[in-house]
Chain A
Amino acid sequence: MSLALVGITVLWVFLYGYLIVASIDFGAGFFSFYGKWTGKGAVINDVIDRYLSPVWEVTNVFLVFFLVGLVGFFPDAAYYYGEALLIPGSVALILLAIRGSFYAFANYGARESTLFLFLYGMSGLFIPAALSTVLTISEGGFIIEQGGRVVFLANELLTSPYSWSVVLLALVSVLFISASFLTYYASRAEDQEALEVLRSFALFWSLPTIFAGFLVFVTLREHNPQHFHAMLDVSWMFVASMGCFLVALGLLMRRKAYGMAFLFVMLQYAFAFFGYGVSHLPYLLYPYVTITGSVTSPAMGQALIAAFVGGLALLIPSLWLLLRLFLFDARYVKGLRP
């Protein structure tokens, strides 16, 4: 495997990791607010808090990992995106900063405030929308090079049907992934009331995700035919994604094996995300930046891979310990243990 391919695979895996853990986090924020607003809050907030408290910081690291890795493996991509995305990037950063820090403040009492929950819940929807537009931009047509300058066409982005389909997909996916995970967590906690509420959320958001997925397909065909045809070449991955979705939905409807259901949701997104990623290659930013044209020097590439292997050797046992203590420890999940 070439260095470029290793690099993009590593980055894509981490972006997928961020997609899952951040969705759980963002969706939980929205459900907290929705719960407070409709009066169902007390039922689900316990479950949400107990899971999020020890892991919120880790979620953020996944994103930073991707950003730093992108600069490391593909410095040219950092240049193009950096030049072009000053304003949207900064706005996303400010939202992330508000949300990240307020999460910690929330543990010390701010949670009772409705204004706080409103900001917290809304930023949970705006951030995925903002971040997903970077994927939209990577399809080309929104960043052009003009007279040696890189220019971002914000108006094109705001009026593109494709761009809005991606935003829609991001929003409903966040809510679906989060609700199906929290359903599983509530079932582990044997918290029937929370389980029922969260299960209804998961079912409610399941169909829109598939609908939005199709919408993205259709609009991409207009926007970037080259990529659309590449996607057809790996269409089995999207079929597999659909299959996993149906299994997950079936399990949720039959009130069975919520852990397995969440696993199938993860697989559903894994197939779709990697299918999208594979067909996107070799472009990082269509048509200016390809993975081979912008990859870092071989010496740095090798050093980064060595660092990555070493880092994973530390990371995987640590993450496993974290999960074992707070996710797979039944007594902690039920709130019986500190």
Chain B
Amino acid sequence: MEGDTLLYSRLLTFVTLGFHIVFATLGVGVPVMISLAEWVGIRRKDPHYVLMARRWSRGFVITVAVGVVTGTCIGMQLSLLWPRFMQAAGHVISLPMFLEIFAFFLEAIFLGIYMYTWDRFRPIVHWLLTLPVVIGSSASAFFITTVNAFMNTPQGFTLQNGQFVDVDPWAAMWNPATPSKVAHVLASAYLTSAFLLGSIAAFRLLQGRDHPYYRKALRFTMAASLVFAVATVVAGDWSGKFLAEHQPEKLAAAEWHFETKPRAELIVGGVLDPETGEVAYALRIPWALSILAHGHPDAVVTGLDAIPREQWPPLFVHYVFDAMVLIGFYTVLVPIAYFGYIWRKRAVPRLVLRLIVWGGPLAMLAIELGWIYAEVGRQPWILRGYMKTAEAVTTSEGVGLMLVLFSLLYIVLAAVAAFVLLRLFRNKPLEAELEERRVIL
């Protein structure tokens, strides 16, 4: 039974967070896009962009609602499923969690105001209302990411007879993992949201709707995607260098790097034989891992041989990691291809449009994969170096039943949210709204 509780607790946390981060990612990224679109619309006096902001924000409210309730779920499940972790770490990490609530409060208040005052203020004043929403959503991502960073590189306390003493909350918040993690989380959330909005525009164009609104939306979202994709790749590289220095076992597991050595090669793809540790069918790039990890081909990269066997993360994270990186490059190359046609004033081929349609869901998949890699790569620790996941789990029974109930809840929420979103835009197609608001160019 004990073992089951641990497994079910991990699964329930996985299901809740895995579902939540879809909406959390949109919650962080979409306000940025809404704000940018409204700003461009006001600056260029182009009502199409203002309408873009308006339509996106209407759909955004639905995703926010699901994000808020699933966020409440995970907030409470942390104490319900991992009470010992919260008791111990609560002494050290409450500050960022507390600050996150304020950021969330700010976002909630101004989102309500923004949504219900479209025709009440001068355009520029209404646009100003997006700023607290953007600041609030990105700040909550920042704060909660510092908590996760702390779990990877804990600091800011001393452990004395099982008690956390000499607590320094600010040091805990600004732990070594914080900068690179925050950069990667924010950039990838912006990227995913921009790309998903681009997917919608591309989808409409493929359907044969050729209103200039869609072309503007596509161009605008692809420009944003390109910028954010490059930022994501740069932040990802930074995260890799961070891992090499502070969490070598996580990087080694991702790269199947068993032996500590200089001039380490990068293993791309492949299949691992778990018995012998042999890797077949892989693409091996000489020196690349040393360059990736330390920026120099001669650098020594710590392998799994330097880590006790029982502290190895599961080795399947390699597949997850490679898939994430692959999608990362896809999100850079597809917008480049798109702009290649735009700059040469050539029609964008349907193939490129199709690749863009796929890009949004793929980017969201990469968010999930990256998160799975970051979390599973930390196992067996819940608090690296201090507390194992198995020591933190609840002793109460019934987690299995709760796993079933919450899974059902998320299925229902996903279905209803999708249904409402689709109906929302079907009942009010762009063409009708353009006419209603008398936006004619």
Check A153 for interface membership: any CB of B closer than 8 A: no
Q: How far is the CA of A85 from the CA of B262 in the complex (A)?
A: 52
- Which residues, 370 to 393 on B, are CB-close (under 8 Å) to A? none
Set A75, A86, A89, A93: member contacting B87, Cβ < 8 A: A75
Check A98 for interface membership: any CB of B closer than 8 A: yes
Check A79 for interface membership: any CB of B closer than 8 A: yes
Q: How far is the CA of A101 from the CA of B117 in the complex (A)?
A: 22
Q: A64-B101, A89-B80 are in contact. Are A103 and B65 (CB under 8 A)?
A: yes
- Which residues, 265 to 301 on A, are CB-close (under 8 Å) to B? 296-297, 299-300
Instruction: Mark interface residues in B18-33 (1 if CB within 8 Å of A CB, else 0).
Output: 0000000000000000
- Which residues, 66 to 106 on B, are CB-close (under 8 Å) to A? 66, 68-73, 75-84, 86-88, 90-92, 94-95, 97-102, 104-106
Check A55 for interface membership: any CB of B closer than 8 A: yes
Instruction: Mark interface residues in B125-168 (1 if CB within 8 Å of A CB, else 0).
Output: 00000001000000000000000000000000000000011111
- The answer on a CB contact under 8 Å between B64 and A71 is no
CB-based nearest A residue for B23: A101
- Which residues, 71 to 99 on A, are CB-close (under 8 Å) to B? 71-73, 75-76, 78-87, 89-91, 93-94, 96-98
Q: How far is the CA of A107 from the CA of B42 in the complex (A)?
A: 28
- The answer on a CB contact under 8 Å between A86 and B402 is yes
- The answer on a CB contact under 8 Å between A307 and B69 is no
Set A63, A90, A321: member contacting B405, Cβ < 8 A: A90
Check B399 for interface membership: any CB of A closer than 8 A: yes
Check B420 for interface membership: any CB of A closer than 8 A: yes
Set B99, B116, B416: member contacting A101, Cβ < 8 A: B416
- The answer on a CB contact under 8 Å between A315 and B86 is no
- The answer on a CB contact under 8 Å between A97 and B413 is yes
Check A338 for interface membership: any CB of B closer than 8 A: yes
CB-based nearest B residue for A294: B87
Instruction: Mark interface residues in B412-431 (1 if CB within 8 Å of A CB, else 0).
Output: 11001100100110010000
CB-based nearest B residue for A109: B423
Check A318 for interface membership: any CB of B closer than 8 A: yes
Residues in A whose Cβ lies below 8 Å from that of B102: 307, 310-311, 314-315
- The answer on a CB contact under 8 Å between B95 and A78 is no
Residues in B whose Cβ lies below 8 Å from that of A57: 64-65, 68, 108, 111-112
- The answer on a CB contact under 8 Å between B79 and A81 is yes
Residues in A whose Cβ lies below 8 Å from that of B416: 101-102, 105
- The answer on a CB contact under 8 Å between B88 and A300 is no
Residues in A whose Cβ lies below 8 Å from that of B405: 90-91, 94
Interface residues on A, range: 35 or more
- The answer on a CB contact under 8 Å between B113 and A321 is yes
Residues in A whose Cβ lies below 8 Å from that of B109: 58, 315, 318-319, 321-322
Q: Is the interface of B mostly helix, strand, loop or mixed?
A: helix
- The answer on a CB contact under 8 Å between B417 and A101 is yes
- The answer on a CB contact under 8 Å between B64 and A78 is no
Interface residues on B, range: 35 or more
- The answer on a CB contact under 8 Å between A100 and B69 is yes
- The answer on a CB contact under 8 Å between B105 and A315 is yes
- The answer on a CB contact under 8 Å between A109 and B75 is no
Q: A79-B83, A82-B83, A338-B120 are in contact. Are A104 and B64 (CB under 8 A)?
A: yes
Residues in A whose Cβ lies below 8 Å from that of B87: 75-76, 78-79, 82
Residues in A whose Cβ lies below 8 Å from that of B69: 60, 96-97, 100-101
Check A214 for interface membership: any CB of B closer than 8 A: no
Set B80, B97, B105, B110: member contacting A72, Cβ < 8 A: B97
Shortest beta-carbon distance, A74 to chain B, in Å? 8
- The answer on a CB contact under 8 Å between A93 and B95 is no
Set B70, B169, B395: member contacting A303, Cβ < 8 A: B169
Shortest beta-carbon distance, B118 to chain A, in Å? 6
Q: How far is the CA of A100 from the CA of B71 in the complex (A)?
A: 11
Residues in B whose Cβ lies below 8 Å from that of A299: 166-169
Q: How far is the CA of A182 from the CA of B152 in the complex (A)?
A: 49
Check B61 for interface membership: any CB of A closer than 8 A: yes
Check B62 for interface membership: any CB of A closer than 8 A: yes
Q: How far is the CA of A220 from the CA of B297 in the complex (A)?
A: 73
Q: A73-B94, A90-B80 are in contact. Are A338 and B118 (CB under 8 A)?
A: yes
- The answer on a CB contact under 8 Å between A82 and B402 is no
Shortest beta-carbon distance, A50 to chain B, in Å? 9
Q: How far is the CA of A337 from the CA of B79 in the complex (A)?
A: 44
Residues in A whose Cβ lies below 8 Å from that of B91: 75, 296-297, 300
Set A110, A303, A322: member contacting B112, Cβ < 8 A: A322
Residues in A whose Cβ lies below 8 Å from that of B424: 108
Residues in A whose Cβ lies below 8 Å from that of B394: 82-83, 86
- The answer on a CB contact under 8 Å between B81 and A69 is no
- The answer on a CB contact under 8 Å between A100 and B65 is yes
Set B79, B166, B399, B406: member contacting A78, Cβ < 8 A: B79
Set A68, A307, A338: member contacting B116, Cβ < 8 A: A338
Check A37 for interface membership: any CB of B closer than 8 A: no
Check B398 for interface membership: any CB of A closer than 8 A: yes
Q: How far is the CA of A310 from the CA of B90 in the complex (A)?
A: 21
Q: Which residues of A contact B (CB under 8 A)?
A: 53-55, 57-58, 60-61, 63-65, 67-69, 71-73, 75-76, 78-87, 89-91, 93-94, 96-98, 100-105, 107-110, 149-150, 152, 296-297, 299-300, 303-304, 307-308, 310-311, 314-315, 318-319, 321-322, 325-326, 337-338
The 7 closest A-B pairs by CB, nearest first: A72-B94, A75-B90, A104-B65, A82-B83, A311-B102, A82-B79, A79-B87
Q: Which residues of B contact A (CB under 8 A)?
A: 61-62, 64-66, 68-73, 75-84, 86-88, 90-92, 94-95, 97-102, 104-106, 108-113, 115-120, 132, 164-170, 394-396, 398-399, 401-402, 405-406, 409, 412-413, 416-417, 420, 423-424, 427
